[in-house]
């Protein structure tokens, strides 16, 4: 996956209008519980571009940066953002109940029409994290360590590109999202 991610990053750097993002393969399916206590499946995003990322609400450093960045990117898309779903999956399901996730979403001004903050049982979250190549582990200091991996999924449910970390260029990311929004739907 890392090689595909790097290839995708190189493809988006070329800037050519006819360069399509690579197709990594079918995005791993999941069903979890959203901030309103409703079930949400990746298949619910079919026909929309999906962003899947992993956060936790008590994180004090990188998760808030990533959340704020994604909220800003979604806002900057304007009307085109209506074809987008951002699924932020907690890596700390014991702490991050639907109510906690709802408060977190509100604190960041996340548009409830575009964002779903998801939780589930520990086995459910670990399964989804593993299938998205995300590592999560208690760090012994009362917190969690986890991989920062943000995946872009096209309207047909195909994983197209993954961004590692939180320092990715928001303009490049927005261009990649816009590229997927311009592609034909499912």
Over its length of 186 residues, how does the chain's per-residue pLDDT go in tens digits?
443 443 444 444 434 344 689 999 999 999 999 999 999 999 999 999 999 999 989 888 888 888 999 999 888 888 777 899 999 999 999 999 999 999 999 999 999 999 999 999 999 999 999 999 998 877 777 677 777 889 999 999 999 999 987 777 888 999 999 999 999 765
CA distance 16 to 165: 25
Number of compact structural domains in the chain: 1
Residue 163 belongs to a domain with what CATH number?
3.40.30.10
Q: Are 185 and 155 in contact (CB under 8 A)?
A: yes
Determine which helix (DSSP H) or strand (DSSP E) holds 74, and give its type and residue range.
helix 62-76
Of residues 163, 78, 66, the one with CA closest to residue 108: 66
Range of the domain at 147: 2-182
Strand partners, 145: 137
This prediction's pTM: 0.85
């Amino acid at each position: 996956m890392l090689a595909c991610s790097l290839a995708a990053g190189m493809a988006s750097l070329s800037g050519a209008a006819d360069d399509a993002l690579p197709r990594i393969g079918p995005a791993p399916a999941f069903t979890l519980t959203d901030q309103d206590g409703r079930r949400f499946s990746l298949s619910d995003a079919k026909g929309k571009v999906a962003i899947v990322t992993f956060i936790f609400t008590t994180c004090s450093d990188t998760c808030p940066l990533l959340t704020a960045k994604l909220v800003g990117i979604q806002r900057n898309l304007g009307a085109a953002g209506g074809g987008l779903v951002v699924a932020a999956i907690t890596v700390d399901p014991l702490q991050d109940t639907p109510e906690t996730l709802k408060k977190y979403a509100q604190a960041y001004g996340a548009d409830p029409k575009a964002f779903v903050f998801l939780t589930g049982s520990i086995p459910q979250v670990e399964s989804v994290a593993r299938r998205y190549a995300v590592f999560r582990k208690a760090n012994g200091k009362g917190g969690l360590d986890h991989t920062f991996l943000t995946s872009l999924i096209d309207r047909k449910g195909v994983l197209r590109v993954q961004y590692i970390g939180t320092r990715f260029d928001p303009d490049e990311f927005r261009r990649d999202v816009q590229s997927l929004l311009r592609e034909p739907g499912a």
